[in-house]
């Protein structure tokens, strides 16, 4: 069984990014009934449903020779990288936006249903997003590395949820999303290069400079978007 440290880290980070949002939402919904039970049950149901589908689909995908999937995997990672970049941008925008005052609270009448439905929805959605990345990684012959990274992330988050309790809902994820976005583009570039028979000078170690280049490019692009937002806000205020 071959394990790739880079793939373990990538899968770990992807699951951390997606599942941190699940845990944060469950803790945020706790305020409606004073218990985590309903939201956690919904999240478990959502993750289990999508996880089962992923296992079945993964078995089918892994039956295809990995060399035929390099290009497809690279394209999938580019597409998800763009999606995650947009999510990262939204996170940075929320982090810089003023906190709204006087926001309406969710009605307590159906709080338990809201908790379960909210937990199920976010669990299913975030698991789907993680699976979109993990399946093509597994399809390139690094399935055990992806599983190990995902399992370690899940164990860490469950442990943090029990230990940190109230603090968990205040975890900031924009920097995690930025790192995950950069890793996705780095892997996509590397795999597409492999499919095109690019002679990478350092082999797998090329992922390091590719990641750093993607990180710089993504951060600069984010800053340009944020500055454009600021310019538009100043223009609107001055009108």
For the chain, the domains span 5-96+109-231
What is the predicted pLDDT for the residue at 63?
64
CA distances from 146 to 5, 7, 29, 49, 217 (A): 10, 6, 30, 19, 26
1 vs 201, residue with greater confidence: 201
What is the predicted pLDDT for the residue at 225?
93
Question: 65 by DSSP, 3-state: which?
Answer: coil
Would you say how long the chain is, in residues?
A: 239
Mean local confidence (pLDDT), 177-188: 81
What is the predicted pLDDT for the residue at 200?
86
What is the predicted pLDDT for the residue at 181?
82
User: Number of helices and strands (H, E) in the chain?
Assistant: 7, 0
Beta carbons within 8 Å of 220's beta carbon, 6+ residues apart: none
Residue 101: pLDDT band by 50, 70, 90 thresholds?
very low
Q: How far apart are alpha carbons 47 and 154 in whole angstroms?
A: 11
Crossing angle of helices 111-137 and 70-96, in 10° steps, is 140
Residue 1: pLDDT band by 50, 70, 90 thresholds?
low
Mean local confidence (pLDDT), 208-237: 89
What is the predicted pLDDT for the residue at 209?
93
């Amino acid at each position: 069984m071959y394990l790739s440290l880079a793939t373990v880290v990538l899968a770990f980070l992807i699951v951390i990014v997606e599942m941190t949002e699940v845990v944060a939402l469950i803790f945020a919904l706790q305020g409606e009934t004073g218990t985590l039970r309903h939201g956690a049950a919904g999240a478990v149901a959502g993750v289990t449903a999508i996880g089962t589908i992923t296992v079945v689909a993964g078995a089918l995908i892994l039956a295809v020779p990995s060399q035929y999937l390099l290009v497809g995997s690279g394209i999938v990672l580019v597409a998800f990288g763009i999606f995650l970049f947009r999510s990262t941008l939204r996170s940075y925008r929320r982090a810089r936006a003023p906190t709204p005052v006087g926001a309406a609270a969710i009605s307590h009448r159906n709080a338990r249903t809201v908790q379960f439905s909210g937990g199920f929805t976010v669990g299913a959605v975030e698991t789907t997003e993680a699976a979109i990345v993990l399946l093509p990684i597994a399809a390139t012959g690094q399935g055990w590395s992806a599983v190990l990274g995902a399992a370690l992330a899940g164990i860490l988050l469950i442990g943090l949820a029990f230990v940190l309790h109230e603090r968990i809902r205040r975890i900031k994820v924009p920097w995690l999303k930025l790192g995950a976005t950069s890793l996705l583009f780095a892997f996509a570039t590397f795999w597409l290069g492999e499919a095109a028979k690019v002679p990478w000078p350092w082999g797998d170690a090329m992922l390091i400079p590719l990641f750093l280049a993607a990180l710089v490019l993504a951060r600069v692009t984010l800053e340009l978007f944020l500055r454009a937002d600021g310019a538009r806000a100043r223009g609107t205020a001055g009108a």
